[in-house]
Amino acid sequence: MNIDFYIDIDTVIHRLDGRTKILLFVFSFVALVLFENPLFILPIALLILLESTLARAWVNIWRIRSLLLILTFSSVIMWNVFASGETHLFWFVDLESLEYSLARTMVMLWMI
């Protein structure tokens, strides 16, 4: 099993200068941390999806799919347990905590 995640492919992203790639990474990271509303995170997520597609990185994302699923479920559940809101939906889930949990989960997953 190869544990190396680097894929040596001639793509647009791979041909960029290293400083440009670092700036793309820093911009994506800072932009994700700035917002809490999922609607504001969505355009940044689409940009990261475009970068992943241009870099042909879906093979690596597929390799860590089980980790991403575990993080998704645990994050949504934990944020709903510990965050609270006023609009009760069911059991321990409030509308505001559900929105917040989805936003934080999206941020966490896009940072990975």
Distance between CA atoms of residues 27 and 77, nearest Å: 29
Q: Tell me the C-alpha distance between 49 and 60, whole Å.
A: 13
Distance CA 66, CA 112 (A): 13
List pLDDT tens digits, range 33-58: 888 777 888 888 888 889 889 888 88
* Contacts (Cβ under 8 Å, ≥6 apart) of 23: none
Print pLDDT tens along the chain (112 aa).
Answer: 566 777 778 888 888 899 998 998 898 888 888 887 778 888 888 888 898 898 888 888 888 889 888 988 888 888 877 777 777 777 777 777 887 888 888 888 877 7
The pTM for the full model equals: 0.69
Secondary structure string (H, E, C) spanning 74-97: HHHHHHHHHCCCCCEEECCEEHHH
